[in-house]
Amino acid sequence: MRTSRECNFPLLFSPVRIAGFELANRLVMAPTAINFAKPDGTPSDRQIEYYRMRAEGGVGLVIVEATFVRGDGRTFPASLGLDQDFQVAGFRKLAREIHEGGARAGIQLVHTGRRGDPAIIGCHPIGPSPIPCPVRQLIPRELKGEEIPELAQAFVAAAGRAREGGFDLICLHMAHGTLLHQFLTPLANQRHDEYGRDLEGRMRLPLMVVRGVRESLGPGMVLSCRISSEDGVEGGLRLADTSRIAEELRRAGADLIDVSFGTQGSVPLTSPTQEAPFGCFVPFAEKIRRAAGAPVITAGKIWDPALAEEILRSEKADLIALSRPLLADPDLPRKWKEGRLDEVRPCIADNKGCLGRLYQNLEVRCSVNPSLGRTSGFQTSN
């Protein structure tokens, strides 16, 4: 077994200051939907325990999964939601448990837009233009111009509830074909008013949301935006577009850019398969970091601490996001830090228990971690 002396990753496990707050290390639990919430959108007890376990496992920051800002923006049957004031108490408990586990607490806010399932949201899905989602193939209702500021206000209100709940960071979901991404990409937005026409128009709503949330939160909280570096579909956003978008987001008040990839139907997938190379999205993050002049989180199968250390040393990114590996082994960060690399239960990237079940509207499981999602006696692999 390799020892900690042989596995020394000084940058990865050094503290870092982002926009005024300090993280214990550079590892971030990426927002990852698990479909465990209560019907009213509040976190269940086992969901809270799930997040506390990952905080105790050693990441510097836990970003709670996509949380809807309006009822018509729910993604899955058991999605989290912050669209009503009564929900704050449950999220306050969740943030407290993450903090007590040793990590900073962030939360991602989302509206699913045209991806919405009428059986889940209880109405017809909305979108910037009447262009169907490639997966659902349902033509959304085109939003009227006067409705769009109301959507921005829903994000602002949800961010305020997250602040009341004790979270340290707000992440605005602008990637993977969600509503704010739909406004940004010409694949979904072919409007001819001020919210469309060109990139400047398509940015109008996302920038409105950033400015509103920034003003609401004040200087004490970190504001992050998760973007797709490219759409991965012909005619979609390319790196030159998203570099400009990231720069404008920073100017509008974003402290941190979380760089992912893709949308519905993109190749490669937003969750890279076994065939995808390790660090597959890092080159995009590096270029966006330089263009935007803002710190970035990078993702994309960074499942080796030596690779993570090299990314940081080469200044390609500032923080390293992990998603599926923390489903497989919540103690992975601590094992990396202690040099117990041979004890890590590795993710096999088959996308069956996680992504496959999620898109059947089922609770997430893991092919290599049968204890995931069980309500009592969670077993770690210490």
What tens digit of pLDDT does each residue of 164-212 get? 999 999 999 999 999 999 999 999 999 999 999 999 999 999 999 999 9
Residue 163 confidence (pLDDT) above 80:
yes
Residue 273 confidence (pLDDT) above 60:
yes
User: Which secondary structure element, helix H or strand E, spans residue 305, and what is its range?
Assistant: helix 305-313
CB environment 92-117: b (16+ within 10 A), e (fewer): bbbbebbbebbbbbbbbbbbbbbbbb
User: How confident is residue 376, by pLDDT bands cut at 50, 70 and 90?
Assistant: very low
Structure tokens at 356: 């496959």
User: How confident is residue 353, by pLDDT bands cut at 50, 70 and 90?
Assistant: confident
Higher-scoring residue by pLDDT: 236, 351: 236
Average the pLDDT over each of 45-59, 329-343, 344-358 and give the range with the smallest value: 344-358
The fraction of the chain above a pLDDT of 70, given in percent, is: 96
Q: What DSSP string runs through 125-194?
A: -EESSS---TTT--PPEEPPGGGHHHHHHHHHHHHHHHHHTT-SEEEEEE-TT-HHHHHH-TTT----ST
Across the range 40-48, mean pLDDT stands at: 97
Chain center to CA of 90: 20
213: alpha, beta or left, given left = phi > 0 and alpha = psi -120 to 50?
Answer: alpha
Res 378: pLDDT:
38
Res 256: pLDDT:
98
User: How confident is residue 275, by pLDDT bands cut at 50, 70 and 90?
Assistant: confident
User: Which secondary structure element, helix H or strand E, spans residue 209, and what is its range?
Assistant: helix 204-217
Distance CA 164, CA 67 (A): 15
Higher-scoring residue by pLDDT: 190, 361: 190
pTM of the model: 0.95
Taking a C-beta distance cutoff of 8 angstroms, is the pair 132, 140 a contact? yes
Tell me the sheet residues that pair with 107: 64, 170
pLDDT, averaged across the chain: 93
Distance CA 285, CA 319 (A): 11
Residue 77 confidence (pLDDT) above 80:
yes
Q: Tell me, what amino acid is at 248?
A: E
Higher-scoring residue by pLDDT: 360, 269: 360
Chain center to CA of 233: 21
Distance CA 102, CA 55 (A): 6
Residue 288 confidence (pLDDT) above 50:
yes
Domains of the chain, first to last:
16-358 (3.20.20.70)
